[in-house]
Amino acid sequence: MTPPQTASTPTSPAERRQAFRLLFLCLMATGIGNNMLFAILPPLARGLAVPEYWVGAIYTVSAVLFMTMTPVWGALSDRRGRKPFIVFGLCAFACSTLIFAAAAWAGESGWIPPLGAIFAMALARTLFGGLGSATNPSAQAYVADRTSPGERTEALAGLTAAFGLGAVIGPTLAATLVELVGVPIFMVIISAMVASGAFAVWYRLPEQSPPKLQSRPINPFAQFAFGADPRIFPFVAYGCVAWVVQSLSLSTLAFFVMDSLQLDEAAGLQMSSIALAAGAGALIVAQLVVIPALHASPRILMSLGAGITMAGFALMIVAPNYAGIVTAYILISFAFGLARSGFVGGASIAVEPEEQGRVAGLTTATAGLGFILGPVGGLFMYNQLGHLVPYYVAFVLAAITLALAWFHPGIRRVANIVEVKPEP
């Protein structure tokens, strides 16, 4: 039964700053837990003598449920409020990380065969994809509720930068602590950190925007149909392709570093972690420094992101050494910081206040689609067609997004709203 609509109690500027900081810290913790896998899984898979495509399968299983459920959680947050679903998603993430830690321990100890460990890890990521996916769209909608269209792109960039900061810390911590305490204990620590964030949100986050009275159905089909709405379709399409490109680079980077430099698992973990951390740092600079300085429209951010992505993959293809690989990945990650903030902010500006949860769920779901297609497709091309083939494909996809961002009338229309009639 839909809760009754009540009068909204305005959030003071001080409360808003405190709330945004708390959400930033929680998303940073989930970013640490999620992105450490890109450094841990490839060496772990090789240590268990498991083929690389099983790593892609783990990403894909999680991504299918993530893509399916994030629009549902976003729409439910419109109807029931943001805070309950932020807490629910954080708790699910903490539980999934504990299950993953147990699977890694059992596999390394020989308690279960390697494929059994992989299936248990996939189960853990399924829990994250299906239930842990409630946090991101609800948090994005929480921020959108409290910002004007003129400031929303920058505010959402700041929030999503939290996940990027976690992407810096996660691989770095993995490279440092896994050698000291092992993969299972490290993941238990991450789980405890995310659970602490859920507790803090439940007791400290002010929830003063009332739920919206709505009669539309809450199911994945209805929510995905909303993606065809001409107001948001070009942003959702751009986001899908951008996430495919980003996930392709993430999932192949560690293998590319190990194979290009002929490194073993331990050295591969160290060197790929450095590259991943450098790329995540570039993403943070894009979102926390460059975007506030530019005050650019979503269209400009999306166009810049696509163009710089093309330059990054061109450099990756011709990179002569480790420094070249890292530089290329820094460019790709910096570009994605601009692009993601552009399409997320543009889609939010294009819809009404009562649709913010729905659109946040859809733009978040683009990441799920990216991690369905990117890792499996990228690793298949990497192993079957050649190590550079995924990067040629990514270059072409980035060129497509550049054309979409620059020429699509729906994106140009939102650009005009921001550039000609900004709100204070």
Residues 267-314 pLDDT 10s? 777 788 788 878 878 888 898 889 888 888 889 999 999 999 999 999
Please name which of 348, 147, 363 lies closest in space to residue 242, comparing C-alpha atoms.
363
Indicate whether 202 pLDDT > 70. Answer: yes
pLDDT at position 8: 39
Work out the average pLDDT over 362-391: 84
Distance of CA 153 to the CA centre of its chain: 16
Between these two residues, 334 and 147, which has the higher pLDDT value?
A: 334
CB 332, CB 313: distance < 8 Å: yes
pLDDT confidence band for 422 (50 / 70 / 90): very low
pLDDT tier for residue 110 given thresholds of 50, 70 and 90? confident
CA–CA separation, 162 and 420 (whole Å): 30
Greater pLDDT, 8 or 415: 415
Tens digits of residue pLDDT in 229-271: 888 999 999 999 999 999 888 888 888 888 888 777 677 777 8
The pLDDT, as a whole number, for residue 179 is 66
pLDDT of residue 58: 72
Lowest mean pLDDT among 30-39, 214-223, 261-270: 214-223
Please compute Rg for the chain using Cα positions: 20
174-200: burial string, b at 16+ Cβ within 10 Å, e else:
bbebbeeeebbebbbbbbebbbebbee
Of the chain, the percentage scoring pLDDT greater than 70 comes to 82
